[in-house]
A = this chain, B = another copy of it.
Amino acid sequence: MAPKTITLKDVAAVANVSRATAARALNSYGYVGEEAAARVLEAAEKLGYRGNRVAQALRHGQLPIIGFVPGDIQNPFFARIAHDLDVELRKHRYNLLIASSEEDVDQEKALLDNLRALNIRGFILAPTSGDDNQHIARLAKDGAPIVLIDRVAKDIQCDSILVDNEGGAKEAVDYLIANGHRRIAILQDDSRIFTAQERFAGYTKSLQEHGITVDKNLISVSRSTVKHAVDATIRLFSRRDRPTALFTVDSLMTQGALLGLRTMGLSVPRDVSLVGFDDFDLATFTDPQITVVAQPISRIGPLAAELILERIKGSQAAPRNTTFPTKLIIRGSVSNPQI
């Protein structure tokens, strides 16, 4: 069926030189006669020689691939970063292999094992778990280039790029409190996830600083999808003395909360005030527009690419940890609570 692939040997045969000479001509190194080189290039062109990355990789040790393991490729936050990474890395002739962990540590472990066996050049990870990450530690210790984004894993020595989750969350809740709210709920994803932990910490810190007791009943955990968030929101607001305000920890959950509240006939901000973490396109279309804690998302991908490329080049510098500040964007989803 498939006309067998063209190998260097074929090219060499047509050009009437040895494989060694053909390789020299194609990769322009060492001594090659002009005439011979021309013949080789012509032959390669004519045959459509493409080279075999796998064989090259076996020789050099590694494939020109960088692995990206986000928590969930469907989250626009990660999709955007994937896109930015792809653009940057392609400039340097690397391919991006995206393998989502689906926020499952076991899957993450399996994936890393897998990618490792593929001999890829480096890893850009958003670790699912803040605690369980022996596997990442091992990877780092073996000297693999790694950049962690969005989340860090404890006790791992490697480059990382974060945003100020705790500060951002605290600012959001501070703002709600400043508007007179005291019964403030939080809708968060799996508490194993680092960002969830940090954003939750910001939430509790703000409450405590204002002398408000943290009420377990106001804490809702759900998977980070619009659907799950809708359900969680409905549960949260079905209680008798429901919260007057809600803080959501990512954009999918913010959207879910909006849909959930609408389903229940609750109006934002008249009945419930809302602040979300992570900005999203439609935040300014909804009525009212949604107040959010924005992350400098456009800077994460490019920086991650830069860091990983340096590591691949062999940089032995101390781990660089960047934390970007967040920014509270005040729109119209917060008002004073009704008494």
Query: Chain A residues in contact with chain B, CB under 8 A?
Result: 1-3, 50-55, 57-58, 63, 65, 72-74, 76, 79-80, 82-83, 86-87, 95-100, 102, 113-119, 142-144, 226, 255, 258-259, 262, 281-282, 284-287, 316
Are B118 and A54 neighbours in the complex by a CB distance under 8 Å? yes
B285, A117: Cβ atoms closer than 8 Å: no
Whether the Cβ atoms of B52 and A54 lie closer than 8 Å is: no
The interface centre, meaning the residue of A53, A58, A82, A102 with most chain B CB atoms within 10 A of its CB, is A53
A50-B116, A73-B82, A95-B114 are known contacts. Are A3 and B142 too (CB-CB below 8 A)? yes
Contact at B95–A97, with CB atoms within 8 Å? Answer: yes
Known: A2-B143, A100-B83. A118 touches B73 (CB 8 A): no
Q: A100-B83, A259-B285, A286-B286 are in contact. Are A2 and B50 (CB under 8 A)?
A: no
In the complex, given contacts A1-B143, A95-B99, what are 14 additional A-B residue pairs having Cβ atoms less than 8 angstroms apart?
A: A1-B316, A2-B144, A53-B117, A58-B58, A63-B118, A73-B86, A74-B79, A76-B79, A82-B98, A87-B102, A96-B99, A255-B282, A259-B282, A285-B286
Do B119 and A52 touch across chains, with their CB atoms under 8 A apart?
yes
